Amino acid sequence: MDAYRAIVTKRDTRSFTDQAVADDELRRVLQAGRMAGSAKNLQPCRFVVIDEPETKQKLAECGDFSAWIPTAPVCIAVVIPEDGRDFDAGRAAQNLMVAAHAEGLASCPVTMHHKECALDVLGIPEGHRVAIVVALGHPGEDPSSRGPAAARLPFDDYVRRNRW
Amino acid sequence: MDAYRAIVTKRDTRSFTDQAVADDELRRVLQAGRMAGSAKNLQPCRFVVIDEPETKQKLAECGDFSAWIPTAPVCIAVVIPEDGRDFDAGRAAQNLMVAAHAEGLASCPVTMHHKECALDVLGIPEGHRVAIVVALGHPGEDPSSRGPAAARLPFDDYVRRNRW
């Protein structure tokens, strides 16, 4: 898929089929995340790939709006140091998700509001935190997961010139 | 450019020629930023496009490592609410930069350490902050700006399965 098209057509959606994500697809997605730039090239992000049903079930309890996690064939937890930059996590996660979209996969970020829960479920040592979990899989048919996220404010509301 | 190729070959570089960025190129870059997803679709980011030399010169004084800003033909300040998520700013900035790369443009994020300075230079009202400035332009020839940023830890250092 063309890069510009992939970027501007990517929507955060969370309706998935049961079809597994192929290893080569997943590897490209992860490679995309790995290659994201970071401040001072510190490379603060690590990715925990979660495909065990029982682990997904436990992880679903670590967020306020994450009960749907088990419906995703694969989740990728983006882990950073406790004092790491969420900006860099956002860069890596966007790479993961745009690359997934280019592979024909749907994806959606989900926040782990209960930090200790996520660290415990994934066996992550102290000094780290889960910046985000990216759920992905082949897109399902539920159109309700597509509409609202497509809405954007007008271009001219987004952009100013030289001064606010 | 192919999406996966654009994502994995994007490097943060800051060597630019004097060539101006064409309006249609810049518009696609900004559109890419606009279409980035955000938590609850809050769309927290706004983009201030800076191409006036005197404004770039003033902005160069707002960061600890930003003296090179005037060498970039265009800068895009990504502005979010004071309590906005840097994660979402990272998603938008990555879209800006990967789209720029797909257009053949080099780009590099630069931090505004002196927050009030950046708000003042750009006339941004209280209650906001500059999450990042993305500098962009046609790539220059300085190879020293390319090497280190290309280095990445091995794939297997980045990725774990189900448990840390």
pLDDT one-digit tens code per residue, A82-117:
999 999 999 999 999 999 999 999 999 999 999 999
Query: What pLDDT is recorded for position B141?
Result: 81
In sequence order, what DSSP letters do the residues of chain A get, joined into one string? Answer: -BHHHHHHH--B---B-SPPPPHHHHHHHHHHHHT---GGG----EEEEE--HHHHHHHGGGSTT-TTGGGSSEEEEEEEETT--HHHHHHHHHHHHHHHHHTT-EEEEE--SSHHHHHHHHTPPTTEEEEEEEEEESB-S-GGGTHHHH----HHHHEEES--
Q: Which pLDDT belongs to residue A138? A: 98
Closest chain B residue by Cα to residue A39: B109
Please check the confidence at residue A147 and state whether its pLDDT lies above 80: no
pLDDT tens, residue by residue, B71-125: 999 999 999 999 999 999 999 999 999 999 999 999 999 999 999 999 999 999 9
CB A130 within 8 Å of CB A124: yes
Residue type, A157: D
Token digits for A99? 């690359």
| Residue A9 neighbours by CB distance under 10 Å | 14
Query: How does residue B151 score in pLDDT terms, banded at 50, 70 and 90?
Result: confident
Test mutation, B38, B112, B164, chain A, max A CBs within 10 A: B164
CB contact under 8 A, A162 and B87: no
Q: For residue A154, what is the nearest residue in chain B, using CA coordinates?
A: B34
Residue of B nearest to A108 (CA): B37
Mean per-residue pLDDT over chain A, rounded? 94
Helix (H, G, I), strand (E, B) or coil at B48: strand
This prediction has a pTM of 0.95
Q: CA B143 → CA B24, B109, B148, distances in Å?
A: 28, 18, 10
pLDDT at position A141 is 81
Q: What is the mean pLDDT of residues B122-140?
A: 97
User: What is the mean predicted confidence (pLDDT) over B126-132?
Assistant: 97
* B153: number of Cβ within 10 Å: 10
Residue B107 CA, distance from chain mean position: 6
For residue A1, list chain B residues with Cβ-Cβ distance below 8 A: 2-3
Each residue of B114-129: b (16+ CB within 10 Å) or e? beebbbebbebeeebb
Please tell me the predicted confidence (pLDDT) of residue B143: 54
Rounded Cα distance, B129 and A25, in Å: 37
Q: How far is B145 from chain A (nearest CA, A)?
A: 12
- CA angle A137/A132/A145 to nearest 5° reads 45
Bridge partners, B163 (sequence order): none
Say yes or no for a CB contact (<8 Å) between A95 and B7: yes
- The phi and psi torsions of B133 (rounded to 5 degrees) equal -115, 130
Region B130-145: mean pLDDT is 86
Which one of B35, B162, B164 has the shortest CB-CB distance to A52?
B162
Instruction: Give residue B144's pLDDT.
Output: 52
- ipTM for the predicted complex comes to 0.95
CB contact (8 A) between residue A31 and residue B125: no
For residue B9, pLDDT beyond 80? yes
Q: Name the closest residue on chain A to residue B85, using Cα atoms.
A: A86
Res. B53: pLDDT tops 70: yes
Cα A89 from Cα A76, distance rounded (Å):
12
Q: What is the pLDDT of residues B114-126, one digit of tens each?
A: 999 999 999 999 9
